[in-house]
Amino acid sequence: MEELQKLILTQGEVVNEEIIKVDSFINHQVDPTLMEKVGKKFAEQFKDRKITKVATIESSGIAPALMTAKELDVPLIILKKEPSRYLNSNLYQTEVYSFTHQKNYELTVSQKYISENDHILLIDDFLADGEAAIGAIRLFHKAHATVAGVGVLINKEFQPGEKKLNEQGIDVVSLVKIKSLKDKTIVFD
């Protein structure tokens, strides 16, 4: 997606060889026009997958996932990183390691929102190590739901996330693929 590439080049900040900040248009401040275009792009890519729900992990994936769900006219499920104090029963839970935060967290979703009848599309902002996506997919499998695919805005190809998902038979659609961040230079695939 050319528009997303341009924003990454002009507003992205390469922190080191593994991390790029895109907080001015995706993470902290969200560009709603861009998210609308992203939602349409993902909906077009996955339109024939019989998707019943779109899911994302809180919080940076919410904007693109919501716009995708709107375009597909299906509900959005938000997977929580912390179990609620009040909704702590009847949950699917799994432990996930966060590459960004360098720690484990408990990923949860209420059992009443995902079932064996669902074909779920997972949408996220980044794909790096793949652990968050794999954790989400574990939750879907606990519910015997089908994974329709994974859509990511930015795929850091130099990390193993896409390979791990492909090895599980999961189709990944990336709007932008970054090949390298070496020497603080963004190289697209």
Who's near 88: CB < 8 A, 6+ residues apart?
A: none
Q: Which residues are annotated as a binding site for xanthine?
A: 27, 156
Q: Which residues are annotated as a binding site?
A: 27, 128-132, 156
Going by pLDDT thresholds of 50, 70 and 90, the confidence category of residue 97 is confident
* Cα separations in angstroms, 117 against 21, 50, 168, 184: 37, 11, 20, 45
Q: Which residues are annotated as a binding site for 5-phospho-alpha-D-ribose 1-diphosphate?
A: 128-132
Supply the pLDDT for residue 112: 92
Supply the pLDDT for residue 117: 97
Q: Where residue 30 sits, what CATH number does that domain have?
A: 3.40.50.2020
pLDDT in tens, 61-82: 999 999 999 999 999 999 998 7
Domain that holds residue 20: 2-188
pLDDT in tens, 142-181: 999 999 999 999 999 999 999 999 999 999 999 999 999 9
Number of domains observed in the structure of the chain: 1
